[in-house]
Amino acid sequence: MKELIKQNSRSPVSGNNRTLLSGRPFVRSIGFVNWRGVWSLYVREVMRFYKISTQTLIAPIVSTLIIFVVFVVSFNESLQGKIDIPLSVFLVPGLIMMAIFQNSFANTSSSILVSKIQGNIVDILLPPLSPFELTLVFTLGGITRGLLVGFLCAIAINFIVAFNLYHPIVIAVYAILASMMLSLLGLIGGILAEKYDHIAAMTNFVIVPLSFLSGTFFPIEFIPETWRILAWLNPFFHIIDGFRYGFTDHLDGELWIGFTYTLLINLSLLYVALKFFSKGYKLKN
């Protein structure tokens, strides 16, 4: 028996053998970041929207195509000569970004709220995941869905109208910043919300108005001078403006101002989300 124990001590010992030999339960070392937990929760977030892809992926593409066709058919002739680029090309970045906005927000907000209502939020809070890891995973889930929908919308629209990619890096940076902002906003909204009406109110009274009034469908010069200041304060305007610059090489504002402004808002939202998770605000009661 002693010889058997001595042999086991020299060979690699599994968790079960360690428990038997030492009498103490084996605890797996997690390290600075619980990568296994982060990956598992991220896969759960991705599969959550992938399983209902008709609603989460296909429906936004169809809606975007319908809006695109309606606007081009209705306003193409009336706006000829008033903007420097064709209306069809002008609309493409705004519609893609609007799809990114709405789907990034919807993913994180619905995930948190559904877990709270169904009572399984405890299954997310109990595992050894830090507030930063939880925030990271939910944000990455929203970014994944937002970017995927935006990419699919771009492919679908490209079958109708051809567009160029003048600055691919700018397009990628602003797409990531936008999806991150709306994912964090949806995460905060899902934590604060107590029923589906609260999320619907945020979508209808915050996300949609800011999207429509940010130059998605018209140049910012069309807005009266007094209202243009409010448009400059709208972070959605700077995101769409920078995103459109990547497609058309046309810029209404300042690229570095929009990038800095958007980055600061993202950092502020990240701080709030981390605080909510660290304190368990409206999550543990």
- Distances in Å between the alpha carbon of 247 and those of 16, 128, 154, 186? 57, 43, 11, 27
In this prediction, residue 116 carries a pLDDT of 93
In this prediction, residue 2 carries a pLDDT of 45
Encode 65-101: b = buried (16+ Cβ within 10 Å), e = exposed: bebbeebbeeeeeebeeeeeebbbbbbbbbbbbbbbb
CB under 8 Å, gap of 24 or more: what pairs does 62-67 form?
Answer: 63/99, 64/95, 64/96, 64/98, 64/99, 64/153, 64/156, 64/157, 65/153, 65/156, 65/157, 65/160, 67/95
In this prediction, residue 147 carries a pLDDT of 98
Please list the rounded mean pLDDT of every run of 10 residues in the chain (285 residues): 42 46 58 88 96 95 94 71 77 95 96 93 90 97 98 95 93 97 97 94 92 82 78 91 93 90 97 95 84
Number of residues assigned to the chain: 285
Q: Which residues contact 26 (CB under 8 A, 6 or more apart)?
A: 15, 16, 18, 19
**Biggest distance spanned by C-alpha atoms of the chain:** 93
In this prediction, residue 226 carries a pLDDT of 76
